[in-house]
Amino acid sequence: MVQIEILSGPESGQVFDLSVGTHTLGRAASNSRVLGVDSVSGRHLELTVSAAGEIRFRDLGSTNGTWSGGVQVDEGEWFPGSEIKLGKCVLRLVPEGGGASSMASDLDEADSDIHRRAREAAMSGKRKGGPLQMALGVVLVLAAGGGAWWTFGRGEASEEADIANGSGTVVKGGATSQALDAIDDLGNFEDPESWNLSKGASIEEGLLRSGSGRSSARLSRNFSLMDTALEISATVSGTQAYPLVSWGKGEEGSQAIGTWEGSDLAAGSVSLSLPPDAEWFQIALRMEGQGNLSGLTVESASDAPKKISSPLGSAYHEAANLLMANSSGALLSVRGQNGSWSSNTGGLLFTPNGEASMVFNASGDLLEAGAFLILADGGPVGLAPGVIVESSPGILLGGGATRLLLTLDQASRIRFEDGGASLTTSEPFHLHWDLAEAMTQAARLSQKITRAEREGDDRQLLASAAELLRDLPLDELKVQEALLRSQEALERGRADLANLQIQASGAVFVGAGSLMSQLANEARDLASRYPGTVVEPQAAALAADLEIGAEQAAQGSQQAAQEYRQRLQGALTTSYPVLAAWLKEVN
């Protein structure tokens, strides 16, 4: 029989017993012990009690994880007097006899064995934090023999909040310990093999160096944190250095859920609050310009991003960063600089602070529902490596009920980058999840196309079709109809142009100036009916040629008439001098 004390939550202070065997803890009523705390999963933790009173724990794939000594763990041995945190519920394994004094007498005897098991657990590689945090966590959690801090440090103040003073020292229940660097001092850059460097980056003598242009460095190991806020600092000289933090769930090598970007470390330390439910983190540095960086540290902080509810799920945002997710996982991750998100009717509004640079990455249900499309003249363009749209009004993602439309107040250059779409803008833009108004506008444009075709107004037909295809390609049937009608209108324009070219050839051949003038006017009208199409420049060029031909024909006719009058007058002077004199006077 073992006893477990609840140190936090609505049942704080209660002690419950567990007999020999296997037990489960969680929020669901089917558990051996129900913990009524929202941050605890339905089936959170499994405990196995041996006949000798030893107890082992195993996380059951919980949402918020199981933590010991500030490190997330999957499984291990739970020692008397030590604590385990499930979400926000803290449990302590009560030592035999119920007091700290009885446990203290056992610590010296068990010290060497505990350290041996701690080392074996650290080397097993089964913890979510990976090897980087396993050893650290096991030393803090399991090495109770030498762990007076862990065993007695909290004392009667176990329910007090941890306090951090200005020097970075963390005060825990009356005892103090230096704040821990989450990346195990690898930010000192004394182990170059721990970093993946891009072209232009190098590590020399404890410095991360950046050549001219853009370079990057990524830590090759993941790390874990109890909180989902980071305090990142470094000494930066010459270059601009932006921290990029990715996070994920599951195995260490699994794909990241999202990536957020912090502000320039050259301006000071960066606080970055990340979305909840992350099980591991990654850090990278993006550097602009020539310079170096040293003394990179990553520490846990207590903060949370802002949250907005939407029909598609939850939207978390921090500065220019955004994550939209539903119960199945992430939908859209946005990382960026110089701006902020806010709630807006039917969606979100992004307001830049100067020039904002953003990268959009879609995943999960959003991509399963539809494509990732960049809006463009003539219809949307699918996102793929090498794609660049110089003047795009926005982005369309997903389909059906799971769809998002990004509309830019000013068209921007959008291109493929890091598996997503990158844009830079100094104007606000909107991210819509309520597309009712946009669908109504698309329907009106479709009606305009039909009416223009019926009235023979190809100019209006093409203008309405171009607007629908560029800005509102929301309904596939309407898009296909607009494409078909605009293609038919364009074929009519090409046919009219071909007919004019044939007539113009005949008029030029016979030198019919008046006919050339008439055809020139018809060509000008044709160009105005098909603006922005291949017909417009060809019709305009034909009109210009015909106008020149008509002018030359008119000049030729005047010259021929004058020569005829001169010959006639010469003949009359000889035969009819009186008549010739009269004609000369008239002329």
Contact 433, 331 (CB under 8 A): no
| pLDDT (mean) for 376-400 | 93
The pLDDT value recorded for residue 585 is: 65
CA angle 210, 426, 356 (to 5 degrees): 35
Taking Cα atoms as reference points, which of 542, 549, 380, 551 lies closest to residue 472? 380
Any idea which of 19-33, 164-178, 222-236 has the lowest mean pLDDT? 164-178
- Best-predicted range by mean pLDDT (26-35, 53-62, 402-411): 402-411
Q: What are 56's two structure tokens?
A: 């082992």
Comparing 344 with 142, the larger pLDDT belongs to: 344
- Judge whether residue 253 has pLDDT over 60: no
The pLDDT value recorded for residue 98 is: 57
DSSP letters spanning 296-362: EEEEEE----EEEEETTEEEEEETTEEEEEETTEEEEEEEEEEEEEEEETTEEEEEEEEEEEEEEEE
| pLDDT (mean) for 129-158 | 35
The pLDDT value recorded for residue 566 is: 59
- Judge whether residue 46 has pLDDT over 90: yes
Residue with tokens 């004394």: 190
The pLDDT value recorded for residue 562 is: 62
| pLDDT (mean) for 411-432 | 94
- Judge whether residue 110 has pLDDT over 70: no
Any idea which of 58-67, 147-156, 300-309 has the lowest mean pLDDT? 147-156
Q: What percent of the chain has pLDDT over 90?
A: 48
Element (H, E) at 132: helix 131-142
Give the whole-angstrom CA distance, residue 504 versus residue 498.
Answer: 10
- Judge whether residue 252 has pLDDT over 80: no
Residue with tokens 């008239």: 586
Cα dist from 72 to 10, 63, 222, 272, 298, whole Å: 23, 12, 12, 20, 16
pLDDT band at 163 (very low <50, low <70, confident <90, very high): very low
Comparing 182 with 553, the larger pLDDT belongs to: 182
Max Cα separation, the chain?
153
- Judge whether residue 97 has pLDDT over 90: no
Q: What are 423's two structure tokens?
A: 């844009």
The pLDDT value recorded for residue 177 is: 35
Any idea which of 249-253, 329-333, 335-339, 569-573 has the lowest mean pLDDT? 569-573
Q: What is the pLDDT of residues 480-496, one digit of tens each?
A: 999 999 999 999 999 99
Q: What are 452's two structure tokens?
A: 């223009």
- Judge whether residue 209 has pLDDT over 50: yes
Residue with tokens 């509102």: 472
The pLDDT value recorded for residue 413 is: 96
Q: What is the pLDDT of residues 319-333, one digit of tens each?
A: 999 999 998 889 999
| Per-chain mean pLDDT for the chain | 81
- Judge whether residue 515 has pLDDT over 80: yes
Q: What is the pLDDT of residues 552-564, one digit of tens each?
A: 877 776 666 566 5
Contact 528, 460 (CB under 8 A): no
- Judge whether residue 217 has pLDDT over 80: yes
| pLDDT (mean) for 93-119 | 48
Contact 270, 232 (CB under 8 A): yes
Taking Cα atoms as reference points, which of 126, 122, 143 lies closest to residue 134? 122
User: What sections of 143-202 are H helices per DSSP?
Assistant: 148-152
C-alpha gyration radius of the chain: 38
Any idea which of 69-78, 171-180, 496-505, 545-554 has the lowest mean pLDDT? 171-180
pLDDT band at 63 (very low <50, low <70, confident <90, very high): confident
- Judge whether residue 214 has pLDDT over 50: yes
- Judge whether residue 118 has pLDDT over 70: no
Q: State if pTM tops 0.85.
A: no
The pLDDT value recorded for residue 266 is: 93
The pLDDT value recorded for residue 57 is: 92
The pLDDT value recorded for residue 310 is: 92
Cα dist from 512 to 408, 496, 497, 499, 542, whole Å: 53, 21, 19, 17, 16
Sequence-ordered list of residues with C-beta below 8 angstroms from that of 303, at least 6 positions apart, any chain: 227, 229, 271, 273
Burial class of residue 309 in the structure, from the number of CB atoms within 10 Å of its CB (0-12 exposed, 13-18 middle, 19+ buried): exposed
- Judge whether residue 164 has pLDDT over 70: no
Taking Cα atoms as reference points, which of 370, 414, 424 lies closest to residue 393? 414
